[in-house]
Structure 1
Amino acid sequence: MAETVRLVESQGPLDDAQVLRALVATGADGGQSGWLMSRAWQLGRRLGLDQQLQRWQSMAGAALLALVGLVLLGALGAAGSVVHSGRTVNAVAALFSLLGLHAVTLALWLVGLVAPWPSSGGALGRLWLELVARLSNGRKANAANLLQASVNLLRRERLAPWLFGCVSHTVWALSFVVMLAALGFAFSFQAYRLTWETTILSPDFFVTFVRATGWLPGALGFPVPDTATLLAPGAASADQRAWAWWLIGCVAIYGLLPRALLAVFCAAWWRRRAAALRLDTADPYYRGLLARRDALQPAAVVDAEQPWQAARPGHAPVPGKGAAVVGFELPPELAVLSVAGDVWSRRISGTSAERSEVLEALRAFAPARLLLVCHAASSPDRGTARFVREAAEHASAASLLLAGAAVSPQDAARWTDWLGAARLEGIALLTDEADGRAWLEGATHG
């Protein structure tokens, strides 16, 4: 379904806005592949592809039976050409006529596994798929896209040899069952003379050929003509029963047995490969769809601020001495608070390098009191909160002084609310420079 929708959209994108919104709203799970297949299924239902797939499933068995019927007629015809050509049958020629086409098609299938070409995978299997499509009204545009997408998927994922091979080997195995039944019935109730004839070949060739082909059937219990019968197959004393069993054994061992085993093997391998089939989410088409999905996702906070605590376990500041003043993002016309005595003072504009340098210095200094000076008229943001929190962790106590020509009550209230919202209630807010100096002097004279 997903590959068919992809093929349809290669001719022009479908209107999927409503489908995407519904999938995002319902939170469709299953990962990227699950979301892509849910979208394809919704669009496929709108195109009627689900009904087409149901018709395919209902017609698959009927198409297989029709194909089996045609092949069985061919098998009966092949067996009939052997037993109805007269009471004298050229055994070697009969063997080639019964196994010749089978051997050629089997060899082509085996070669296709090693060096695949576009049409490899089993002629009967491809014929079966075409028959299913035609019986399912494959002349419609969507049905044609479904057939083409199926063939493309089978070829790309190297599934065609196993699916088509399973169908082909199964049909061939059934044909050999019918062929053996016809031969057994004819040899049981009719008297035939099986022999070999030649114009240019020596008798030794046929003797070697019959012994070589009869070795495996003989090992499995089938009678094989003896030496006298091989040298004089037309003699009245020749064992015609052994010739008949040699022909039946060769058809069973070299025809029915490999086809039956390969049908079982292909079916098992097909189930394994099909169960592991996944969409290629790295494909540009699917990457584009996933990008559209991500664009419709609601915004979410991925780096939430963590509440600050003045004495978190394992992070409590080491009791220090002295005082420090840091002017943070102050306008050029405002000077950092001047304090009498030995006070460590810095002024930063807020760049990442300056913040890292000051935080490293505070960590090494570990002041008893740290006064952070900020512009009262400015609006604090997440960057301000992060710096205040990290700087305060390196001091025993920290306060924030609002600087400006005149700090209004509105500015003070706004900063107070901000400290509460940022979970920085442990930091005192000062609005007067004299209060700031007095608070720092407690460290310089303590």
Structure 2
Amino acid sequence: MLSPQDQLTELVRTLETQQHVFATDPLLITEKLQNEEGSPLQKLHRRASRIDSNGALAGVLGKIDDRIKGIMVVMSVVWCISGFLGLFTLLQTNVVNFFYVLVCLLGFHTVMLLGWLVMTLINQGNQSSNWFASFVSPSYLIRGKDDVTQAAVTLYERQLQHSGMRWYLGQFSHQLWLATLTGMLLAIVFLLIVRQYSFSWESTLLSDQALITLTQILGWLPSMVGFGVPDSTAIVQSRLVTDAMPLSVARQWAGLLVGSLLMYGILPRAIAWAFCALMFRRKKMRLDIKLPYYQKILNFWQRHVVDADDFKEAPAPIAPKAQVSAGKKLVALLEYPAEQNQWWQSGFDTGITDTTDIENFGILDDREDMARLKAYLDANPVQVLLGIHFKALPDRGTLRKLDQIANHAKHGLIVQLLEDNSLSLTEHHNTGNDVLNAGSDSNLEKQHVRYQQWQTALSARKIGLINN
């Protein structure tokens, strides 16, 4: 079935198409959600919850769900009691025919389990269980002629007809069988505690050796988990027993009976139940947001209406102008070498005049370079002038280096973007609008984009940029 959030969302869709009057106006909620964050499905769930502000829709869905689960619990209890009473009635004699009781315990159960397995292997398609939907129709569980109740009943009936319900039905069937077998197990354990039984076997066609072989085969799996199995002598002595038998032999037969019920009855049925539960989860019904109703809402949330008369283009982020401090400077290149040896001379007009106060660190490339630089900055109060070539991408790793340098530079960090080939940064910056319109010069366009990327990164970090 659908999850509770999906059910509520789908119920809102059904009622809104029927012009239902909700506790809160759906249009108002839809408009308020336009600017909120979240995935489309999360916002649809949020929308349905806010439309159902008084909880009336969720209450009806919860009532139907609780009654369906209640019926399943009651049926499981009834099946458990029936299994207990059935075996309690069967074991009223002191001398028990072992194989007769074993067939009564597991014969029909095994046939039904094998039948289910064969039908599951044959029926690989996703057929729905229409008869099951009619058998447990929510219309039998809740009364009401109002549109909310009727829409909720229709929603549940549509879910019960989904192809994945075949696994839900199989899971419920195995649950009832488990309840019956559990009742039988409780009855066997109870009677073996309060009564002393003798076990025998009878056969017209089978010899003693055949029964010994059959019993050993039957007891192989229970013996693997510690249950007792009668030996050859005990099996021969148990033929046509009409009176009390040695207690040690009776306990061996009792252990084999309980072990057979567990290993050949409860365990296979529990595995089948778990398999159906897993398949039902995989085939679980999902909310179809591709329906026109949902697509209309999602398209509205993605639409941004702009008045052409009032529209103002947001300015591109610009890095602050570099402020050169007095004192010693350290210059370094980030990852790429410069075309000129003293590349920082283009920034002299911003205040760098005494080259004796300039320490050239070289190129920062690997972790060792960064560690050496940070150690130097921690020991020396300098302002760092970092030269960044246009080839350098402002990716996560590069920006992490930039942040580390800024944190360790006691007198601050300023940046100078180095030009590529013969194209100067000033020329590039001043002709930015023309570059965007000129498809012939791809190199110029790439540098313009890269320049703006660095402007944005430096602006976010409030790191000054030298406009040379």
Asked if the contact 1:224–1:245 (Cα under 8 Å) also holds between the matched residues in 2, the reply is yes
Aligned-residue offset at 1:306: 6.9
What is the identity, as a one-letter code, of the residue corresponding to 1:118?
Answer: Q
TM-score, reference length from structure 2: 0.51
1:80 maps onto 2:126 in alignment: no
Match of 1:20 in 2: 27
CA distance in 1, matches of 2:102, 2:265: 11
Match of 2:267 in 1: 257
CA distance in 1, matches of 2:127, 2:165: 12
Cα 1:118–1:45 shift into 2, 3 Å: farther
The SS at the match of 1:78 is: helix
Asked if the contact 2:64–2:138 (Cα under 8 Å) also holds between the matched residues in 1, the reply is yes
Match of 1:34 in 2: 42
Match of 1:212 in 2: 217
2:428 to 290, 293, 314: 314
Identity over aligned residues, as a percent? 24
Unaligned runs of 5+ residues in structure 2 are 319-424, 442-468
Aligned-residue offset at 1:212: 1.5
CA distance in 1, matches of 2:137, 2:213: 44
Aligned-residue offset at 1:215: 0.6
Tell me how many residue pairs correspond in the alignment.
311
Match of 1:234 in 2: 240
1:248 to 236, 258, 264: 258
Alpha-carbon RMSD across the aligned residues, in angstroms, is: 4.9
CA distance in 1, matches of 2:439, 2:13: 57
CA distance in 2, matches of 1:286, 1:105: 44
CA distance in 2, matches of 1:169, 1:303: 66
What is the identity, as a one-letter code, of the residue corresponding to 2:214?
Answer: F
Cα 1:304–1:170 shift into 2, 3 Å: same
Cα 1:58–1:240 shift into 2, 3 Å: same
CA distance in 2, matches of 1:283, 1:213: 56
CA distance in 2, matches of 1:111, 1:187: 36
CA deviation vs aligned residue, 1:313-365 (integer Å, no higher than 9, x gap): 624469xxxxxxxxxxxxxxxxxxxxxxxxxxxxxxxxxxxx99x9689x8xx
The SS at the match of 1:194 is: strand
Match of 2:109 in 1: 102
The SS at the match of 1:314 is: helix
Cα 1:190–1:294 shift into 2, 3 Å: same
1:428-443 correspondence to structure 2 within 5 Å: none
Match of 1:298 in 2: 305
Asked if the contact 2:29–2:50 (Cα under 8 Å) also holds between the matched residues in 1, the reply is no
Asked if the contact 1:88–1:194 (Cα under 8 Å) also holds between the matched residues in 2, the reply is yes
What is the identity, as a one-letter code, of the residue corresponding to 1:224?
Answer: V
CA distance in 2, matches of 1:33, 1:184: 52
Which 10-residue stretch deviates more, 143-152 or 198-207?
Answer: 198-207
Match of 2:287 in 1: 279
Which 10-residue stretch deviates more, 64-73 or 192-201?
Answer: 192-201
Cα 1:77–1:179 shift into 2, 3 Å: same
Bigger Cα Rg:
1
Aligned-residue offset at 1:35: 3.1
Aligned-residue offset at 1:70: 1.0
Cα 1:190–1:280 shift into 2, 3 Å: same
CA distance in 2, matches of 1:134, 1:213: 46
CA distance in 1, matches of 2:37, 2:280: 25
1:149 maps onto 2:146 in alignment: no
Asked if the contact 1:88–1:193 (Cα under 8 Å) also holds between the matched residues in 2, the reply is yes
Asked if the contact 1:78–1:97 (Cα under 8 Å) also holds between the matched residues in 2, the reply is no
CA distance in 2, matches of 1:21, 1:113: 49
What is the identity, as a one-letter code, of the residue corresponding to 1:233?
Answer: R
2:127 to 99, 118, 124: 118
Cα 1:112–1:150 shift into 2, 3 Å: farther
Which 10-residue stretch deviates more, 91-100 or 12-21?
Answer: 12-21
